[in-house]
Each structure stands twice: as structure tokens, then as C-alpha cells.
Amino acid sequence: MLQTYQTKIKNATESSAIECLNIIASYFTELERKLFLDSFIRGKSRAACKNGYLKKYEITARQYNAIYIQLEGKVNSIIELNKLHVVELKDKIKSLEKYILSNNEKLVTLREKLIKLEKKAPFSEKFRKTAKQRKNIKFIIHQKKRKLAIYKNKLKRLEQDIKNGTVRICFGSKVLFKKQFELEANGYQSHAEWKVDWKSARSSQFFCIGSKDETAGNQTCTYTSNSSLRLKVPDKYKKDYGNYIIFNDIKFPYGQDTIDHARQSYIGITSGGKPVKHVNAAISYRFTKKEHGWYINATVEKEISNIVTHLRLGCLGVDLNAGFVSLCDSDRFGNPLGEESIPCPMYDRSTDQITASMGDVVNVIVNRALQAGKPIAIEKLDFSKKKSALGEESYQYARMLSGFAYSKFKEMLKARASKLGVEVIEVNPAYTSIIGQVKFMKRYGLSSHGSAACVIARRGLGLKLEKPKYDSILGNFKKTINHKALKSRWSTISYLSKKNYSFKARVELLKLEA
């Protein structure tokens, strides 16, 4: 498992070292843009460009490889993003077309209503309200059609790019590039002032690739045993700055032990039987310039911890909701032992604040699982399709869904659990809420969300789908569903209960079993 640890260059007091770092970053990013033109636009191969770049631009083979690998990663990510954008745009177009069709039907109904009202009471309040409502819907349809045309044009262009293999990259970001056209609105006094930021953004980072057969895991950037970082200077600038620039007292606040272990060397044997020196793991470094100085990101391969949790002890079910997480502890038979609600605020907060809240919740959940020796069960959910249609949903639903960062929560939970050897099991999310409410809420005195977490835990244990309970308020659906398969019964119960009762009413009725 790849892990990245960050630290700041704090003790670089010599102006020449920082000056050289700025020059190296500017030079490598310039070569990256040239290589993009030669390799990905003109179609030259990596090998065909290599010898020419080494001689012409006076860089080492490792420096060239690092530039190419970083560029290749950007290109591949854009290709994959284009594919995702095509799927997302198709979902948005489908949602818009459905919305427009639905509202066109409303227009027809309102028109018929207006014709009747015009004959009976043409100047009544009801007539004016209906006319205004029809006018508003016509305006909304017009705007939605404009948006639909924009999405279709975007989709056409993306599909053409994918077909032709065209990759579009704006080095420095499109957002900053567009700011030059509205200087005053973006806080710039002149175009020259914007250009300073533009050049800084285009030369704010560079990459040094590592290898196991190189000193301390990296030939270009070597982290020595006395906590000094030695960066190799391109041959072009050796006369001005020497062979290396050195940064002393480099310590990583997190992951120092992992990096120290990775750079330790040992003697291995080649396929020919000759001894060769290796390190435990390669270390790749990325230098990044931010507002307060230069930062170093060290990426190293870390061994995944062995799984220490067992299903024979039970399972912890996790149900993420808007604003809190429900946790249900169950034994190995699927019986709930208790529930807990952990606050996780997501509304009216910045991305960093939401991430921090999720990190705290994830730590609590994983630590509980580790102490109990039980794996964690979560739902296998994907809200990408629903989020693509937020513009056509109600304000309340759109607000709830847009702030519901389930994928980030799942990613953080898996990462933390893998470090500590806790197993995470993804389960089918179908009907967990309704099954929990009908089967376990009243029986065990659980909340509606706690009962859903109980069902998730039971599915993590691999237990069979529960049978519907007919002695509750939902028993009046028995005749409708009795002849169906088990899964279809829950599907019908879910549909009919949502149709006939609100969420709060259904929960209260099931509590009473009236």
C-alpha cells in the first residue's frame, strides 16, 4: 500500500538553496510542457524523445523518467476523467429531458385549466395565479432547454476527443488562466501582476522518482541517515549551484519510522547470482511550493497489516446519515448488543472541516472494531448518478445529497482500517432501513437508523434475508405481497409504506405496532 507523508522545508536559510529550488521547478515544468507537445501531441515515443532531451537540456535519465512519468499520470487521469464526465453528462441529459417532459405535461394541464377559467371567471384571483404559474413553468423550461443544449455540446466534444485520442491540459489551471480576462474582478491591478501568479502556478512542483536499487531509495533526491535531503542539480545549472543542494534537519511529523525503515539497505542476489545492494522500499519525492514555502511529499510502499478481526466474534454495522453515523454492535448470531450515534456534521462547513469531522468519526469506529476484534460492515453505495441530477430536485433534497460525502467517508474508513488490520465488508444496501424498522426496531428498542445499522451488520455476517413481519402496521399489505418472492416482498413493502406513510409516521406506527 502506497503511503504519502508531508513535511515543510523549515531550515533552508540560504537564499541560494531556495533560489536553486525555484529554478529547478521552473526548468522541469518547462520541460514537462515541451515533452507533452513532443510525445502526446506530435506522437513521438518515450524512447525517441529521451536521448534528445538528455543532450539538449542537460538532464539525467532519472530526471527525464520522473518528468515523463508525472506527465503520463496527468494525461491518463484526464483520459479517465473524460470517460467519467461522459457518463455524468449522459445522466444529466437524461434527467433534464425527463424534467422538461414532465413540465410540458404540466403546461398542457394548466392551459386547459386556464381555458375553463377564462370562460367562467377571467379576472378572478385563481385565474391570475394559474396564469402566473404557467408563465413561471415556461420560463423554467426555457432555461432547462438552454442547459440541455450546453450539456449536449459538451458531450459531443468529449466523445469526439475520446474517439480521436485528444488530451487537453492547461498547465497552471483553467481557473487562473481565465482570470486574466477580468483582472479587476479577480483582484489584479495589471496583466503583469496576473502573469507573476500564472508563472508561479505553472512552476510550483516537480517530481523525483525512486527505485529500490538506488541509494536510500532515490538517486535524484537522497534522504541521508543524518536527516539531510540531498537534491541533485541538473547538469545545466551545476556551474552556478554545484552538484547538489542540501536541506538539513528534514523530519517528517508523521511516517518518520516508515521512511527510515524504507531507506535501510540490505544485500540481495541478482538472477545471475551476483550480490547487489537494495533498500527495503523505493521512496519518491514531490516538491510543492505553497503560500508559506516549499513542502516535501515522500511516497513509500508500506506493508498492509494482517487482519486481526474475526466474524466469529460478531460484526459492527455502520450507517452513515446526514449529520451523524449510527453504529450497531452485533454478536456472531446477528443479535444487536447495542447502538451508538456519533455526530458527524456536514452542512454549512468547509471541505476541510467535513474531512476533519469524518476523520474523528472514522478513528472512533475503527478503534471500537479493533478493541472488540470485530470487522466493520458498510453499505456499498454510489450517489454519483443521483448527484448528477441535483438541479432538477427539490432544494431540501439537493442540499442533503450534495453534502452527503459517502464516498469520502468510505475511502477514509477503508484506509484507516487497513492500517490497523481491521476488515471492512461492503454489503448490498437494498431495503436495510425498512427491514430494520419492521424487524428489529420495536423488538430490541433501537432507533430507526440503529436498526438499519443492525441489518447492515447481519449482512456483513452473511446471514440470509429476513422474512417480513406481518403483525405490525404493515400487515395490511400481506395479501398484496404474500405470493411474491422474499426480495420482491420487501420491495413492495418499501414502496407501499413510503406511498402511504411519511418517514416519521411510519417509524411511530412501527414503534407502537398499532
> What is this structure's pTM?
0.78
Please state the domain extents for the chain: 79-164, 216-303, 311-466
Q: Of 286, 296, 300, whose CA–CA distance to 9 is shortest?
A: 296
Q: Of 423, 426, 397, 421, whose CA–CA distance to 320 is shortest?
A: 426
Name the pairing type of β-strands 376-379 and 424-427: parallel
In this predicted structure, what is the pLDDT of residue 262?
A: 85
The secondary structure of 323-390 as a DSSP string is EEEEEEEE-TTS-EEEEEEEEE--TT--HHHHHHHHHHHHHHHHHHHHHHT--EEEE----HHHHTTG
Buried residues in 214-230 as b, exposed as e (16+ CB within 10 A): bebbbbbbbbeeeeebb
Encode pLDDT of 123-163 as tens digits: 788 888 988 999 999 999 999 999 999 999 999 999 999 99
Name the pairing type of β-strands 293-301 and 283-290: antiparallel
In this predicted structure, what is the pLDDT of residue 137?
A: 93
Encode pLDDT of 12-71 as tens digits: 545 678 888 999 999 999 999 999 999 999 989 999 999 999 999 999 999 999 999 999
Helix (H) or strand (E) holding 266, with range, is strand 265-269
In this predicted structure, what is the pLDDT of residue 509?
A: 64
Q: Tell me, which fold does domain 311-466 have in CATH?
A: Nucleotidyltransferase; domain 5 (3.30.420)
Mean pLDDT in each 10-residue stretch from start to end of the chain (514 residues)? 87 71 93 94 90 92 94 93 91 90 91 86 84 92 94 95 91 92 91 93 92 86 88 90 88 89 78 74 91 90 86 93 89 92 82 86 94 93 60 54 71 90 92 86 87 93 81 54 68 75 68 52
Q: What sign has the CA pseudo-torsion 465, 468, 474, 479?
A: positive
In this predicted structure, what is the pLDDT of residue 306?
A: 86
Q: Of 87, 98, 101, whose CA–CA distance to 154 is shortest?
A: 87
SS3 401: helix
Q: Which residues, in sequence order, are bridge partners of residue 296?
A: 7, 287
Give 182's contacts (C-beta < 8 A, 6+ positions apart).
none
